[in-house]
């Protein structure tokens, strides 16, 4: 593929800014995340905001099997490293990925203890912390900022949607202004920030996605993850879907990739794209299978970008020039 001369050279001949390529240049190789479950919960589950979580949420959909069997943090890391070394033998460093539920939703003393235990593992070079924007008090951000001076820290904040209507429909428990505030307060402390988007939620439209793209472009994002909506068993969404599947116009692959591209065109070129989609084990998914493994997403996505003759930041740059 011969890239258009107006595609930023920083993409290295690609049409979007790939996180793994950036990591290779910045750290000398792949940064491989090792999922761990430290037993955190969520204000949308413990009764603070509600019970049962967001309408789409069941951690069985993305948690590795060993997390369901092993509670000791050190053994979780050992098992995870053993697994990913077989799949990614050239990984440069391993990061403990606190993925399940809201991993800053606890007193500071507990966070220090849990993160410290992961960082004490000899093969762990840093941590990635997944959480909600309403679980980031200033004292926690101050602690993470101090920790980031000594080790690699990535903070992954669930955005899911920029539409207040969509967030309310999926019982998220906060609005987009909360998300915006969390990102700006975290960015003021110099933290590396990744956002997480979920495309295909009920009430989301192409118009709301395009409005959201402009809102995302204004956030101090370092990286972004895209996931397609997959309906997972034992969720409110699954109950509604199984009762009336015709009421859920789920995205097909082409519509999903077009949605990602519609957002990508407005993003600044320095935002790294960490993921283009997700896989869910068949035994926990109730929505139809796309029949595509995760490693099939990048080539299909590149083909769609080429077919549309577009790239990350194209419309943003065009508007700035206009």
3-state secondary structure the chain: CCCCCCCCHHHCCCCCCEHHHHHHHHHCCEEEEEEECCCCCCCCCCCCCCCCCCCCCCHHHCCCCHHHHCCCHHHHHHHHHHHHHHHCCCEEEEEEEECCCCCCCCCHHHHHHHHHHHHCCCCEEEEEEEECHHHCCHHHHHHHHHHCCCCEEEEEEEEECCCHHHHHHCCCCCCHHHHHHHHHHHHCCCCEEEEEEEECCCCCCHHHHHHHHHHHHCCCCCEEEEEECCCECCCHHHHHHHHCHHHCCCCCHHHHHHHHHHHHCCCCCCCEEEECCCCCCCCCECCCCCCCCHHHHHHHHHHHHHHHCCCCCHHHHHHHHC
Q: What is the pLDDT of residues 257-304, one digit of tens each?
A: 999 999 999 999 999 999 999 888 888 899 988 888 888 899 999 999
**pLDDT for the residue numbered 1:** 38
**pLDDT for the residue numbered 2:** 39
**pLDDT for the residue numbered 6:** 61
How far apart are the C-alpha atoms of 192 and 141, rounded to whole Å? 12
Whose CA is closest to 195, among 134, 258, 143, 131? Answer: 131
> Is domain 9-321 given the CATH code 2.40.50 in the classification?
no
Report, as ranges of residue numbers, the positions in the chain whose pLDDT lies below 70: 1-6, 9-10, 60-70, 318, 320-322
**pLDDT for the residue numbered 7:** 73
**What are the residue ranges spanned by the domains of the chain?**
9-321
**pLDDT for the residue numbered 182:** 98
């Amino acid at each position: 593929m011969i890239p258009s001369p107006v595609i930023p050279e920083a993409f290295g001949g690609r049409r979007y800014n790939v996180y793994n390529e950036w990591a290779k240049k910045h750290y000398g190789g792949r940064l491989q995340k090792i999922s761990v479950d430290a037993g955190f919960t969520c204000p949308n589950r413990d009764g603070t905001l509600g019970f049962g979580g967001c309408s789409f949420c069941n951690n069985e959909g993305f948690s590795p099997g060993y997390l369901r069997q092993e509670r000791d943090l050190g053994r979780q890391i050992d098992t995870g490293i053993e697994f990913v070394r077989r799949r990614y033998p050239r990984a440069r460093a391993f990061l403990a990925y606190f993925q399940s539920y809201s991993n800053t939703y606890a007193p500071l003393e507990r966070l220090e203890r849990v993160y410290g235990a992961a960082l004490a593992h000899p093969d762990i070079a840093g941590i990635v912390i997944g959480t909600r924007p309403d679980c980031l008090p200033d004292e926690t951000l101050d602690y993470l900022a101090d920790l980031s001076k000594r080790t690699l820290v990535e903070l992954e904040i669930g955005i899911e949607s920029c539409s207040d209507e969509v967030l309310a429909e999926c019982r998220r428990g906060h609005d987009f202004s909360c998300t915006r505030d969390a990102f700006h307060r975290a960015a003021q402390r110099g933290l590396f920030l990744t956002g997480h988007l979920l495309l295909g939620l009920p009430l989301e439209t192409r118009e709301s996605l395009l409005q959201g793209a402009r809102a995302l472009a204004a956030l101090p994002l370092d990286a972004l993850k895209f996931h397609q909506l997959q309906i997972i068993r034992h969720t409110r969404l699954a109950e509604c879907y199984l009762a009336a599947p015709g009421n859920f116009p789920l995205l097909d692959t082409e519509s999903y990739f077009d949605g990602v591209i519609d957002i990508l065109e407005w993003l600044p070129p320095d935002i790294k794209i960490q993921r283009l989609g997700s896989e869910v084990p068949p035994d926990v998914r109730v929505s139809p299978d796309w029949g595509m493994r995760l490693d099939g997403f990048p080539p299909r996505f590149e083909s769609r970008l080429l077919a549309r003759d577009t790239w990350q930041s194209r419309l943003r740059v065009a508007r700035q020039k206009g």
